[in-house]
A and B are shown apart, each in its own frame.
Chain A
């Protein structure tokens, strides 16, 4: 077991290579650049390819192009670049091309606070593109989790033929801490399903193979068409309303029907809790410390940590809300997840937010102050 002291961004690069990533295209942006820097160094050593593109739009385009040839591919960016990438997140969702987009969140809107943390892109990750489609977004809380979860991100992307957004933040990205490299047996690497029919019978969106059809590689003997236009099972454009409805429903169902397999969460001292904090990313660590401090004072506080942000852990939160006096959402924004949590809670308990959008992390004392407020309410 090898131990390293590395930042979240470096751990993402290491994990990506472990996941079989062979291609990175990106554009420099704080606070994500270390992912690109590390991969520009490491990819050539494993036969992988690194390219710095002219902007973030081109970066994700190149990633998708590489992925269509069968390579696992990724990019990394932050808010302003993530905004530019929406065009091709939509394309990857529509063309069902696996790819991983790392977004190291910084303060916004616009260029905002380049060197300060934020979690202000959780809703953009869900709804940033035009049109209807489900998305998978994951959020790590440590260097260790950056490593293991980016592998999961690639796995989910390959399994469901979908872009996966890796939604980290500046705190986790730049925090150096221990990473224990897992032995290879403990790591599961998933690679997309390839067609087993001869090229002349292949249809890239053929649902007879299930909700996630196999994807052939360009250059592997299969000729097919991919478009961002609404298409039928052959991949060619159609504006037939029935076929359109089938496609859009399938893009939704392939994620929603598998949500139990996709949604990852973590509990801390939740069993006897009367009050729960919902948090993710760096803030989940402040929340955990707040839980310990509250417990010392006899307050039954628990933590429900979201690892998968999208699809949302609504069922799990609904269950928890039945036995809570209140739920406090702690996040580095002005309460973006609140309505989503409320719609899961359905009035069963109070839902409060402790949010910061000032470029500073939500601290354990910020959370404890909110806990005190709830105490007064009840």
Chain B
């Protein structure tokens, strides 16, 4: 049942996927699909937008209105869709390269604007599609094909950044903690406003192999498990004790006037555009 629900939303003829054996993207996609199912969203009223990279390929596999755009720009396209047709349910799926590097500014402004879109980052600390280069979320000292001596840069905490920019729902989950992730994504989809979920997912092929976790999926998962720490538990720990840990949980769940609703209520003077023609 757990997988059957997800399967009913897939474009099955598009499989096998481009993802490597052991990649966690499928697990997270299934979690998103279960949450959509629980929401009862109709396929033809659901839009999934992506950027570039392994996560960029997700919309190709799901039976919604799907848009595979340019690197980092998923949220900008999604903003146009949601603002033009607010009755649609809009989800943007991104990789860490999309969300934290080339599209970082779009992420900040989507959060500030508080437009009712759910953004989900498949954060695997690496540029998988291009062969394993480091990303803005690669931890310091970790190896990649462009950090052969270990990464010299500190990483972004995306949840902190997006919370600071004003998102009304901010959470982090992992591919290891799937039932918790189902709940988080369901809450994100339910939120009226900009909701953001940072999902830690493993790339055994690039990140795992380069960082002595091997290309074995189980070993990679075990590593996530070993460094994850629930938000409640983390609150009692010092910065030093949190070093190298991933804090999971919900970081923001607040209320703020949603952008499109505000525009329609305060700015719009007329209902339909253009007035004299049907919208369909």
Contact = CB atoms under 8 A, between A and B. Distances in A.
B is a partner of A? yes
Interface of A: 20, 22-23, 25, 43-49, 51, 53-55, 57-59, 61-73, 87-88, 91, 191, 194, 199, 217-229, 236-237
Contact of A64 (B43, B80, B267): B80
B111 to A, nearest CB: 11
21 contacts: A20-B277, A23-B80, A23-B84, A25-B80, A44-B267, A44-B268, A46-B270, A47-B271, A54-B109, A59-B76, A61-B69, A61-B79, A64-B77, A65-B67, A66-B81, A194-B280, A199-B44, A217-B280, A223-B63, A225-B67, A226-B66
B198 to A, nearest CB: 21
B273 A46 contact: yes
B48 to A, nearest CB: 10
A51 B81 contact: no
Given A62-B77, A68-B67, A226-B66, 19 more contacts: A23-B84, A45-B269, A45-B270, A47-B272, A51-B80, A58-B105, A61-B73, A62-B79, A62-B80, A65-B67, A66-B84, A69-B84, A88-B73, A91-B69, A223-B63, A226-B67, A226-B68, A227-B68, A228-B69
B217 interface: no
A228 B272 contact: no
B47 interface: yes
A218 B263 contact: no
A88 B72 CA distance: 12
A73 B67 contact: no
A201 B47 CA distance: 19
A49 B106 CA distance: 19
B227 to A, nearest CB: 33
A225 B43 contact: no
Nearest to B112: A54
B14 interface: yes
A219 B272 contact: no
Contacts of A57: 73, 76
B280 A220 contact: yes
Nearest to B50: A227
B274 A88 contact: no
Contacts of B84: 22-23, 49, 65-66, 69, 71, 73
A217 B272 CA distance: 16
Nearest to A58: B76
B79 A219 contact: no
Contacts of B14: 236
Nearest to A235: B66
Given A46-B273, A54-B105, A57-B76, A70 B279 contact: yes
A72 B59 CA distance: 24
B216 to A, nearest CB: 30
Contacts of A219: 44-45, 47, 65, 85, 87-88
Given A20-B274, A47-B268, A219-B88, A88 B60 contact: no
A221 B80 contact: no
Given A65-B81, A218-B81, A44 B270 contact: yes
A72 B273 CA distance: 10
Contacts of B269: 44-45, 47
Interface of B: 14, 43-45, 47, 49, 59-60, 63-70, 73, 76-85, 87-88, 105-106, 108-109, 263, 267-275, 277, 279-280
B83 A223 contact: no
A53 B59 contact: no
A59 B84 CA distance: 13
A46 B80 contact: no
Contacts of A218: 47, 65, 67, 81, 85, 88
Contacts of B78: 65
A223 B44 contact: yes
Contacts of A226: 66-68
A225 B70 contact: no
Nearest to A61: B76
Contact of B277 (A68, A191, A224, A227): A191
B274 A69 contact: no
B9 to A, nearest CB: 11
Contact of B43 (A23, A25, A223, A236): A223
A297 B71 CA distance: 59
Contacts of B77: 61-62, 64-65
A69 B68 contact: no
Contacts of B49: 65
B105 A69 contact: no
B80 A73 contact: yes
Contacts of B79: 51, 53, 58, 61-62, 65
A345 to B, nearest CB: 39
A225 B66 contact: yes
A53 B83 CA distance: 12
A68 B81 contact: yes
A58 B106 contact: yes
Contacts of B76: 53-54, 57-59, 61-62, 65
Contacts of B63: 223
A61 B82 CA distance: 12
B60 A227 contact: yes
A134 B87 CA distance: 35
A237 B80 CA distance: 23
Contacts of A45: 269-270
A88 B80 CA distance: 13
A148 to B, nearest CB: 18
Nearest to A217: B280
Contact of B68 (A58, A71, A229): A229
Contact of B88 (A54, A69, A227): A69
Given A44-B270, A47-B273, A228 B279 contact: no
